[in-house]
Structure 1
Amino acid sequence: MTGPARLVLATHNAHKLGELRAILVPALPGLDPDSVVGARDVGAPEPVEDGVTFAENALIKARALAAHTGLPAVADDSGLSVDVLGGAPGIFSARWSGRHGDDRANLDLLLAQLSDIAPEHRAARFTCAAALVTPEGEEHVELGHLVGTLATAPRGAHGFGYDPILVPAGGDLTCAELAPEEKNRISHRGQAFRALVPAVVAVLGREPRG
């Protein structure tokens, strides 16, 4: 790094870290991209996410990371909610198949569960709760949503998680078929993190430069 870490993001996923930095850094004037690091970079353990909402789990991760590092910490909890499944997988999205973070297994199980569901009943949405927590205990949470329908098979090489099967409303491409810049522009995660930017700017603006 070219300078000390000033903001830490609560993810061990390299793909998500890159996506979050691409959303946040351009909106934070004068911030060195290398000063925005991930949880893996600072050796932070992953806390138990036992909240019952996206916001609760985002706060759990951000609080743990701020306490571990003494830095402002940003975390998100995101997932897919399917109307015909009563909002599931929801907060269990990353471990829907029983194996946390196994994207392919999660996709295969969900598509199998929906195999006989007609296109008009395949409505779903991505939700993201983005949280900022400072070492002093200041907390902010913002939400973002991306509404769409579910494809019958994965399509596209970009993104991660359920991106290959959600087709945003008004479009024909899945999130994984969109260029990363276009996905970030409309995504639930992009919405939530851009809404969080003013709080991040205020917090970093109070920190000594140097």
Structure 2
Amino acid sequence: MSDFQSQPLSDNVSQADWVLASNNKGKLVEFKRLFTEANLDVTIVPQGQLNIEDAIEDGLSFVENAVIKARHASRISGLPAIADDSGLCVPALGNAPGIYSARYAGEHGNDDLNNAKLIADLHPIRAQQPDAPIEGLFVCVLAMVRHADDPLPIIAQGLWQGEILDKAHGDGGFGYDPLFWLPKLQATAASLSATDKNQVSHRGQAIRQLLAQL
């Protein structure tokens, strides 16, 4: 860790507010739980409470989009900001849906349509190799900026490997969780309890890595 990264975020960080640059309800629930478990002596404020609209995500990578969102929230609020950019990468589809995971089917945040499109796009591949598992990788990149023009954002990354099913299982989680099968646990991400999911998920990994850097 560099000397710059090891500096306190501010002289009164224990009373600081940090903005969470997301309006995704599923993500907000997970972040709130994970930050509470970490006993951070700060208040995490979702950007929606400050009337901050979503940033335009025009980066070409998870890292770029996470930084864009963090700077956007920090610039409008004047506060340090944390942003998440995450998605599902399927090597058999050239790592799609990737950074477009939330809008894979054309409508932002429509989990049912996104899951249906993923199943449909994988159908020809399954037809050729019906017994072969289809690998998937959940990716989460977190970026934290102390201010909007922070020259050295703190970056953390989590990766979660699994397989993609052709039917949904489980009624928890959000996004592609019902299709994300975990062979070692014999469950989908949507079938895990919130506590168990936080222990192994891409987002849980990234948050723990971020906290270690702070």
Shorter-chain TM band:
0.7 to 0.9
Relative to structure 2, which stretch is displaced further, 53-62 or 127-136?
Answer: 127-136
Q: Give, in whole Å, the separation in 2 of the partners of 1:149 and 1:15.
A: 21
Task: Tell me the equivalent position of 2:57.
Answer: 49
Q: Give, in whole Å, the separation in 2 of the partners of 1:90 and 1:54.
A: 8
From 65, 71, 95, the counterpart of 1:87: 95
Matched, 1:142 2:153: no
From 14, 20, 26, the counterpart of 2:37: 26
From 16, 19, 22, the counterpart of 2:27: 16
Matched, 1:101 2:109: yes
Q: Give, in whole Å, the separation in 2 of the partners of 1:73 and 1:5.
A: 11
Q: Give, in whole Å, the separation in 2 of the partners of 1:73 and 1:14.
A: 18
After the TM superposition, which parts of structure 1 deviate over 4 Å for at least 4 consecutive aligned residues? none
Q: Give, in whole Å, the separation in 1 of the partners of 2:212 and 2:78.
A: 20
Gaps of 5+ in 1: 201-210
Matched, 1:174 2:188: yes
Q: Give, in whole Å, the separation in 2 of the partners of 1:40 and 1:55.
A: 22
Gaps of 5+ in 2: 1-14
- 1:155, CA displacement in angstroms? 1.1
Kindly provide the amino acid, as one letter, of the partner of residue 111 in structure 2.
Answer: D
Matched residues, percent identical?
A: 39
Q: Give, in whole Å, the separation in 2 of the partners of 1:169 and 1:121.
A: 10
Checking the alignment, whether the CA contact within 8 Å between 1:124 and 1:147 is kept in structure 2 is yes
Q: Give, in whole Å, the separation in 2 of the partners of 1:119 and 1:69.
A: 51
Checking the alignment, whether the CA contact within 8 Å between 2:133 and 2:164 is kept in structure 1 is no
Task: Tell me the equivalent position of 1:156.
Answer: 170
From 131, 134, 148, the counterpart of 1:122: 134
* 1:49-69 residue CA offsets vs partner (Å, 9 max, x unmatched): 000110110000001111111
* Count of residue pairs the alignment pairs up: 194
Q: Give, in whole Å, the separation in 2 of the partners of 1:145 and 1:62.
A: 20
C-alpha RMSD of the superposition: 1.6
**TM-score of the aligned structures, taking structure 2 as reference length:** 0.86
Distance verdict in 2 for CA 1:67–1:124, change over 3 Å: same
Checking the alignment, whether the CA contact within 8 Å between 2:102 and 2:110 is kept in structure 1 is yes
**TM-score of the aligned structures, taking structure 1 as reference length:** 0.87
